[in-house]
Amino acid sequence: VAKDVSSIQLETAQSVGSGPEDCVVSLVSGGRLNGKLTGLSETVLTLDTWYGGELKISRKFVRSIEPGIKPERVIYEGPQDGPDGWMTGNRNTGQALKLMAGKNKNNAEVGGDKQRALAVLGLVRGVGRVKVGAAANQGAWRYANNAFICASSGPILGRKDLDLPERCALHFDLQWTGYFNLGVNIFADQINNEYSGNSYSLRIDQNNVYLYRIQNGSTSNLGNTPSQLSGKKKCKITMFVNKEAKQIAVAVNGRLIRKWDDSRPFAGKGKGLLFTSRNNSAMRLGDIRITEWNGSLPESDSAKLGNGKEDFVIFSNKDSISGKAKRIDGDKLIFTTNFGDVPLPVSNMRTLIFNNQAKSPTPKDEEVQILMAKGGRLNAELLAWGDKTVKVKSPVFGEAVLNQAVFEKLDFNLNQPRKEDDGGLFGP
């Protein structure tokens, strides 16, 4: 692979395979594998998967496991396949929401070089590089490079056709220049602007995250917390919502920063989602993912995860215990404590954190990062690419043949620096 290739977005499979999956395995490298937990010894964790059969994972590469956690049902994932279904307008100018042109329509019968040129001129919403500053001349969000971009105050981006479940998680990647300010309304019955109708409104900038309750157009502040984004140019945001419990939580870069409990009836009365650019800073919004949420929140920076010297079990009722995880016998984890071996029901465990001292390894030159369906992630060497299968080699489990349908994206040249300048915000 050429040294200037960063990533390849693969066409989404029409039907992703399925099979029993009741465990999420987090790796020391930051990777993640989903499957059915079928065994654990002092050296190996065995995971049965629909996409790779039985994987025997070296335990020294495992950071934690979450038994009983099924991979989330995906409600929406995009906009890699195009902006279809999304509407954009401008709350400041009164520009009404209008459906964005589809990706296929924009790209029809246009060659790569011509497409790139037209995109720079702003004549089409192509997937080629967009000239820095081009977004500032638009009164709405634009679709380019598999993401949404804007650089003015007032553009709104939304849709009302999402089948939001009772417990849902909204994930998205955000990049910016300058001092950004983004609004996110969820469970909205109106998406004409962020203040109308009924919803919960998250507003985030470099310094703070605010949560507002919007009811019949009336706004009330539920509180704020530091966003911890000062000096950064990008982040991953996750918003968790539990309608029945009237709870909303926010994680930044995988760490829980705040959980709110609303004492009044749940404010949201719709299935809408709305993003609002609240100032003139350039922003890029991508990798939007809405899933059914299992109710488990990530840990906060202040959370205590054991004594740092032993394995650590967190139970469903939030009790915990430290010791040594020896093996799984049937439905019991044999766990050694100061009192001897204790059989712990796996069904009662929320998380098992291994006291592995191994640090995240530096990727080898031949390794790629594989982004997989349902949030999977793995670094591996590609050995052979067939019509429906891919042979890979990973230090985690050795060689394996994976179903091609699980692949969503490949990141290459992992040891090469990624561009962080303004051009990288609007270009590949």
Instruction: Tell me the H-state helices in 123-247.
Output: none
Q: Is the pLDDT of residue 155 over 90?
A: yes
Structure confidence at residue 13 (pLDDT): 60
- The candidate with the shortest Cα–Cα distance to 162, out of 193, 199, 107, is 199
Q: What is the mean pLDDT of residues 369-382?
A: 90
Q: How far apart are CA 247 and CA 410, in angstroms?
A: 35
Structure confidence at residue 421 (pLDDT): 43
pLDDT per residue as tens digits for the range 227-247: 999 999 999 999 999 999 999
pLDDT confidence band for 301 (50 / 70 / 90): low
Structure confidence at residue 80 (pLDDT): 79
Highest mean pLDDT out of 289-303, 315-329, 403-417: 315-329
Q: How far apart are CA 245 and CA 238, in angstroms?
A: 18
φ/ψ region of 328 (left if φ > 0, alpha if ψ in -120 to 50, else beta) reads beta
Structure confidence at residue 428 (pLDDT): 43
Q: How far apart are CA 326 and CA 319, in angstroms?
A: 20
How far, in whole angstroms, is CA 25 from its chain's centroid?
16
Token reading at 342? 């204790």
| Sign of the CA dihedral with 191 first, then 194, 197, and 199 last | positive
Average pLDDT, the chain: 85
Q: What is the mean pLDDT of residues 163-172?
A: 95
Q: What is the mean pLDDT of residues 265-287?
A: 96
Q: What is the pTM of this model?
A: 0.72
How far, in whole angstroms, is CA 176 from its chain's centroid?
18
In degrees and rounded to multiples of 5, residue 66 shows phi and psi of: -125, 85
Q: Is 250 helix (H, G, I), strand (E, B) or coil?
A: strand
pLDDT per residue as tens digits for the range 32-69: 999 999 999 999 999 999 999 999 999 999 999 988 77
Q: Using CA atoms in the order 271, 251, 28, 304, what is the torsion angle rounded to 10 degrees?
A: -130
Q: Is the pLDDT of residue 372 over 80?
A: yes
Cα angle value 246/250/255 (rounded, 5°) = 135
* Domains observed in the chain: 7-72+303-411 (no CATH), 75-292 (2.60.120.560)
Could you please report the per-residue DSSP string of 381-393?
A: EEEEE-SSEEEEE
More confident residue, 127 or 352: 352
